Amino acid sequence: MICAITRGMSEMKKTPLYDEHLKLGARMVEFAGWAMPVQYKGLREEHDCVRSAVGLFDVSHMGEIFVRGEKALDCLEWLTTNHVAKLKAGEAHYTLLMNDKGGIVDDLIIYCIEPKLNYLVCANASNVEKDFQWISKHSQGADVTNESDQWAQIAVQGPKGVQLLSKVFDVDFDQKVGRFKFRPFQFQGAECLVARTGYTGEDGAEIFVPVEAAVGLWQQLLSLGEPFGVQACGLGARDTLRTEMKMSLYGHEIDDETNPYEAGLGWVVKPKDKDFLSKDIVLTAKQDGLKRKLVGFKMTERGIARHGYRIVDQQGAEIGLVTSGCPSPSLNENLGIGYVQATQAEVGQQIFIDIRNRRVAAEVVKTPFLKR
């Protein structure tokens, strides 16, 4: 079976942990040009493990772009919506990389290594080259380098994640690293950047580790994590976990045409603090009245909403599109995210999902679906 998988994945990029996934019996799939594990023991078991214990994700397909030099801050302030100048050394924030038409090139986390002078930009796997080219084009004299091939990345997520991190790095991790903060740690002579961030709604961290140390760190996390019930987890669980929290996935909830406000991401847009690329376009769309809004919904009749399904009203007229949907392992309900006409976006509004030409009832609800 492993040989068959290997032949099928031969043309795809592989993370430094590829062979480790095969040893664990992972089912591998293509994602953004990478051969990635979709599941090991099963999606639900892995999802539940992250919610109750601790799971490990190989996210080495994500990109690491460094912006350095005296113009680094100017570059990032102009291209992104959040207020980069407020970041102190060891702090990070979520933000949006804007294009010149008011749309989103990517959603990012920016890590401040040295204020004004040195920043790490973590980009989505499918957008790394696009982001690098865009930032370079608008660098304003900053030194922009794509160092993604030098780094692996491991996400440690779950309520017992901090205990595992404390054990691996021999520190009181909870005291050393606060939420959306990061610091360097040594692992077998390699310097890692360990950030208390994640994409699951649970506590934990994302570890940027030099490629040559990735396998050793992965194995150590699995070994020392046994008392905490650690499991390796795949993209399947990662998707259901983020959907329960209504976290956007690029290419689904957001893309080059999306206005941040219609996507519910106005909280990372800081127009009073700074100027940024296409600011006027973004604000004008909001002031003129948004035509659509991103909502969360629960199915009230039997059926699963999937990406691309039409959202319709009771008469069958199209009012929007589903961006993501899945059965929720935590809630045992079928959940969905999608854009609807602004007039149909109120909590409690009944909508219908067109599933194979059958109208299936759903209801707009408050999000995140899962309260942590």
Q: What was the pLDDT predicted at 133?
A: 98
What is the second-level CATH architecture of the domain 2-60+150-244? Answer: 2-Layer Sandwich (3.30)
> How does residue 342 score in pLDDT terms, banded at 50, 70 and 90?
very high
Q: Which two tokens stand for residue 258?
A: 């999306």
Under 8 Å CB-to-CB from 83, ≥6 apart: which residues? 77, 270, 273, 274
pLDDT tens for 159-193 read 999 999 999 999 999 999 999 999 999 999 999 99
Mean pLDDT of 271-297: 97
On the question of pLDDT at 1 being above 60, the answer is no
Average pLDDT, the chain: 96
| Largest Cα–Cα separation, the chain | 65
- The domain spans of the chain are 2-60+150-244, 291-365
Rounded alpha-carbon distances, angstroms, from residue 94 to 83, 97, 287: 10, 10, 24
CATH superfamily of 291-365: Aminomethyltransferase beta-barrel domains (2.40.30.110)
Q: Which two tokens stand for residue 363?
A: 């209801």
On the question of pLDDT at 4 being above 60, the answer is no
User: Of all residues in the chain, what percent carry a pLDDT higher than 90?
Assistant: 97
On the question of pLDDT at 10 being above 90, the answer is no
Separation of alpha carbons 367 and 372, rounded Å: 11
On the question of pLDDT at 259 being above 60, the answer is yes
Separation of alpha carbons 161 and 49, rounded Å: 11
State residue 281 phi and psi, 5-degree precision: -65, -45
On the question of pLDDT at 114 being above 70, the answer is yes
Under 8 Å CB-to-CB from 265, ≥6 apart: which residues? 96, 107, 248, 254
Give me the amino acid identity at 265.
L
Q: What was the pLDDT predicted at 372?
A: 79
> How does residue 2 score in pLDDT terms, banded at 50, 70 and 90?
very low
Q: What was the pLDDT predicted at 301?
A: 98
What is the model's pTM? 0.95
Instruction: Give per-residue burial for 177-187: e unless 16+ CB within 10 Å, then b.
Output: beebbbbebeb
> How does residue 8 score in pLDDT terms, banded at 50, 70 and 90?
low
> How does residue 9 score in pLDDT terms, banded at 50, 70 and 90?
low
Mean pLDDT of 229-253: 98
> How does residue 202 score in pLDDT terms, banded at 50, 70 and 90?
very high
pLDDT tens for 308-331 read 999 999 999 999 999 999 999 999
On the question of pLDDT at 200 being above 70, the answer is yes
> How does residue 11 score in pLDDT terms, banded at 50, 70 and 90?
confident
Q: Which two tokens stand for residue 58?
A: 């190989």
Three-class SS string for the chain? CHHHHHHHCCCCEECCCHHHHHHCCCEEEEECCEEEEEECCCHHHHHHHHHHCCEEEECCCCEEEEEECCCHHHHHHHHECCCHHHCCCCEEEEEEEECCCCCEEEEEEEEEEECCCEEEEEECHHHHHHHHHHHHHCCCCCEEEECHHHEEEEEEECCCHHHHHHHHHCCCHHHHCCCCEEEEEEECCEEEEEECCCCCCCCEEEEEEEHHHHHHHHHHHHHHCHHHCCEEECHHHHHHHHHHCCCCCECCCECCCCCCCCCCCHHHCCCCCCCCCCHHHHHHHHHHCCCEEEEEEEECCCCCCCCCCEEECCCCCEEEEEEEEEEECCCCEEEEEEEEEHHHCCCCCEEEEEECCEEEEEEEECCCCCCC
Q: Which two tokens stand for residue 312?
A: 């319709």
On the question of pLDDT at 6 being above 50, the answer is no
Q: Which long-range contacts (CB under 8 A, 24 or more apart) does 357-360 make?
A: 358/303, 359/312, 359/314, 359/316, 360/299, 360/301, 360/302, 360/303
On the question of pLDDT at 65 being above 50, the answer is yes
C-beta of residue 74 within 8 angstroms of C-beta of residue 248: no
